[in-house]
């Protein structure tokens, strides 16, 4: 499986001189990864200044990986050539197989792959991106879809379009990625195989997964149970109509969502209810050190925000912490009488960086508190960027997430917080739902 992410030599089959064609975009993206990227086109001698070959059979030396971008009717012949060349890894981005009801061609592809013992990503997929090695077989130009920086999140997506949109958004939001895998129809490698690989991958800290249907449920559950990393899944085709739509998308049988949900829970998989929540939860796991305990303390400098956050915690059945009497007495003595020293803890509108630091320090020391949800409204006059660096000394002691709401002038503040390792949310409801799933996950 590793050669899908760090191949020494790559053949791109279906490259043309038209820079907008899928194969040409892939070839362009890969040129910066390795000098040994070989264009295959029977009608060209050179492409983008690189010698082209009519077939992989004409290339001297071994080829680790072939990326196939030819019409579906020619794909079997090309895979057969790859097999005769001794290529054991292929990515087929071509569509036109079982997702349009062409089961005969799909079966023929499967038999050819099995004949030569070739591992295949796809067909009908976007490809693979490895942020750490720089391998990029995605057929979308970098100018149109930004790639994420290096990090610990890996994302497996059955849908290329959904995956690419989320990867682009992740790059904009400055999430750090390890790997992105778009696997499409999953002819002979499926979600369980990728999950198993990422479970052992040292670069992957968190696994996100978009699936429409799972091929081998027992294998999937067995693999997931053995992985000690957080797995966050969003299921496509939860409704009756959504389930029918999966057949014309990747040819998957979606099945009952209740059955999937039960299997996910048994496998210690975190279920995201929306695409937005998928990344909210990933943000929690990416930036926080997991600690046992579910009692959450709210700290705010806006009373209304504290109330709304408390309501959200109660509605989501998250346990609110009770400050110890020792902590309460200490803070009552230190803070103005107008401050509310309970849960939520309201530091009021004239809260300073120092007041926040004192409150958070006290909560970190309080054994009645397991996690903190801190509302920080930088519009108030006495909050400065210095608070970000002051708060760093509390990182890793207990899970601590932030809600920072505001417009354009607030964005640099948020970016600076996230750059320094704090998970920040725009609304309390987002933070609460992500916090609930974070603290409920069993290590």
The answer on 267 and 299 residing in a single domain is no
The answer on 237 and 113 residing in a single domain is no
Provide long-range contacts, Cβ within 8 A and 24+ apart, for 150-153: 150/176, 150/177, 150/178, 151/175, 151/176, 151/177, 151/178, 151/205, 151/286, 152/176, 152/178, 152/203, 152/204, 152/205, 152/206, 152/286, 153/177, 153/178, 153/204, 153/205, 153/206, 153/208, 153/282, 153/286
The answer on 12 and 84 residing in a single domain is yes
Task: List, as one string, the DSSP characters of 230-265.
Answer: -EEEEES--SHHHHHHHHTTT------HHHHHHHHH
Q: What is the CATH number of the domain that holds 65?
A: 3.40.50.720
* Cβ proximity of 97 and 185 under 8 Å: yes
Q: Which sign, positive or negative, has the C-alpha torsion 68, 72, 78, 80?
A: positive
The answer on 113 and 226 residing in a single domain is no
Domain boundary among 287, 320, 341: 287
The answer on 301 and 428 residing in a single domain is yes
The pair of structure tokens assigned to 40 is 């295959």
Q: What is the CATH number of the domain that holds 419?
A: 3.40.50.261
Other C-beta atoms lying within 10 Å of the C-beta of residue 367: 10
Q: CA-to-CA distance for 194 and 163, rounded, in angstroms?
A: 15
Q: Is the bond into 78 cis (omega within 30 degrees of 0)?
A: no
* Cβ proximity of 212 and 246 under 8 Å: yes
The answer on 337 and 254 residing in a single domain is no
The answer on 377 and 347 residing in a single domain is yes
User: Left if phi > 0, otherwise alpha if psi is -120 to 50, otherwise beta: which for 229?
Assistant: beta
pTM of the model: 0.92
Range of the domain at 337: 290-440
Q: Does residue 45 lie within any of the structural domains?
A: yes
Task: List, as one string, the DSSP characters of 317-381.
Answer: TPPBP---HHHHHHHHHHS-TTSB-SSSEE--TT--HHHHHHHHHHHHH-TT--EEEEE--TTST
The answer on 261 and 150 residing in a single domain is yes
CA-angle at 371, arms to 400 and 199, nearest 5° = 75
Tens of each residue's pLDDT in the chain, 443 residues: 999 999 999 999 999 999 999 999 999 999 889 779 999 999 999 999 999 999 999 999 999 999 999 999 999 999 999 999 999 999 999 999 988 889 999 999 999 999 999 999 999 999 999 999 999 999 999 988 999 999 999 999 998 888 898 899 899 989 999 999 999 999 999 999 999 999 999 999 999 999 988 888 899 999 999 999 999 999 986 655 644 554 444 444 445 778 889 999 999 999 999 989 999 999 999 999 888 899 999 999 999 999 999 999 999 999 999 999 999 999 999 999 999 999 999 999 999 999 999 999 999 999 999 999 999 999 999 999 999 999 999 999 999 999 999 998 899 999 999 999 999 999 999 999 999 999 999 87
Domain boundary among 241, 270, 287: 287
Residue located via tokens 């990393």: 229
Q: Does residue 52 lie within any of the structural domains?
A: yes
Structural domains counted in the chain:
3
């Amino acid at each position: 499986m590793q050669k899908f992410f760090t191949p020494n030599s790559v053949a791109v089959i279906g490259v043309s001189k038209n820079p907008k064609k899928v194969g040409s975009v892939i070839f362009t993206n890969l040129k910066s990864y390795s000098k040994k990227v070989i264009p295959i086109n029977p009608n060209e001698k050179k492409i983008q200044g690189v010698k082209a070959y009519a077939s992989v059979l004409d290339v001297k030396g071994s080829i680790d990986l072939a990326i196939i971008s030819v019409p579906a009717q020619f794909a079997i012949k090309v895979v057969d050539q790859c097999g005769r060349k001794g290529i054991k890894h292929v990515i087929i981005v071509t569509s036109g197989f079982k997702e349009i009801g062409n089961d005969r061609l799909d079966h023929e592809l499967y038999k050819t792959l099995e004949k030569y013992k070739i591992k295949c990503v796809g067909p009908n997929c976007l490809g693979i991106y490895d942020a750490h090695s720089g391998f990029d077989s995605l057929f979308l130009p970098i100018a149109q879809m930004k790639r994420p920086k290096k990090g610990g999140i890996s994302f497996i997506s059955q849908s290329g379009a959904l995956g690419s949109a989320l990867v682009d958004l992740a790059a904009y939001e400055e999430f750090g990625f390890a790997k992105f895998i778009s696997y499409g129809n999953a002819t002979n490698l499926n979600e369980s195989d990728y999950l198993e690989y990422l479970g052992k991958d040292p670069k992957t800290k968190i696994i996100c997964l978009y699936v429409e249907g799972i091929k081998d449920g027992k294998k999937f559950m067995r693999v997931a149970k053995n992985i000690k990393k957080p797995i966050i899944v969003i299921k496509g085709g939860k409704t009756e109509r959504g389930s029918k739509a999966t057949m014309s998308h990747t040819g998957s049988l979606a099945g009952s969502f209740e059955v999937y949900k039960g299997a996910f829970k048994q496998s210690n998989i975190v279920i995201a209810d929306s695409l937005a929540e998928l990344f909210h939860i990933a943000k929690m796991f990416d930036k926080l050190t997991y600690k046992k305990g579910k009692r959450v303390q709210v700290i705010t400098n806006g009373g209304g925000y504290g109330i709304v956050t408390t309501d959200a915690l109660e509605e989501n059945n998250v346990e609110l912490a009770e400050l110890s009497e020792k902590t309460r007495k200490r803070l009552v003595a230190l803070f103005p009488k107008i401050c509310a020293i309970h849960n939520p803890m309201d530091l009021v509108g004239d809260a300073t960086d120092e007041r926040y630091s004192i409150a958070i320090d006290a909560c970190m020391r309080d054994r009645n508190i397991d996690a903190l949800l801190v509302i920080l409204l930088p519009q108030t006059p006495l909050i400065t960027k210095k608070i970000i660096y002051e708060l760093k000394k509390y990182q890793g002691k207990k899970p601590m997430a932030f809600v920072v709401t505001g417009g354009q002038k607030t964005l640099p503040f948020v970016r600076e917080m996230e750059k320094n390792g704090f998970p920040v949310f725009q609304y309390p409801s987002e933070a609460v739902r992500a916090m609930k799933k974070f603290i409920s996950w069993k290590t």
